[in-house]
Amino acid sequence: MPKPRLLDLFCCAGGAAMGYHRAGFEVVGVDIKPQPHYPFEFHQGDALTYPLDGFDAYHASPPCQDYSVTKTLLQGNEYPRLIVPVTQRFKESNRPYVVENVVGSEIPPQRTLDGINGVLLCGTSFGMNIKRHRLFETSFPVPTLEHNHSLPIIDIYGDKPRLARMREIFPQSIGADLEVFWKNHIGVTWMKHRDEWREAIPPAYTEYIGKYLMAEVTKQTSGKNDAQKTAGIE
């Protein structure tokens, strides 16, 4: 039986894609920029116009820079706000979807708000030594998880004294590039450049969400098959 197909828009180097793959999906990525290290089928194209036909579910990670707390560091650059248009495309398709972005974006942080489902995930919820809070708006329920901010956090940003403290807290990183150590820790080992892994969604996030997305796809597919049988269509 073929795997359900998931369209991964604004895919970058495939952090989210790997999680959905592990959850059982056949993943196809789309990005306006070349992504030579994307681990699955990839198409260069515009996420706002790429055809949605032929897929069972959708994920999108629109550009986050204009919502990020680091926006003040990006002065002189303009970044589009694409959450609303891409979410509207997904809603009109009547297929299950996920839209991801940073805290401060237009995605509601509540699990349920006016009928919209969503979840805020943190690396510590999966036993990782990172926070990397990300919001996920979903068209289906996803249970919330506890965050454990008592865990020591790997910090790859900052001055030399701060990075030296990281070596003391995580002695297993000694002898390795700290950023590569961080990359491997969050589970994106195939990525080659720091610009890729610094923006990446840890696959554990979407593997978790993917379980509930798979259940929603299965439910919709079963309902469609039952309707076809009732109508005498095989």
156 versus 138: which is more confidently predicted? 138
From residue 11, alpha-carbon distances to 100, 153, 196 in Å are 11, 26, 11
**pLDDT score of 227:** 42
Strand extents, DSSP E, the chain: 5-9, 26-31, 41-44, 57-60, 97-102, 112-113, 116-121, 134-138
Out of 3.10.20, 3.30.70, 3.30.379, 3.40.50, which CATH number does the structure's domain 5-230 have?
Answer: 3.40.50
Residue 72, pLDDT > 50, answer no
What's the whole-model pTM score?
Answer: 0.87
Which one of 129-143, 175-189, 200-214 scores highest in mean pLDDT? 200-214
What pLDDT sits at residue 223? 72
- Spans of all domains in the chain: 5-230
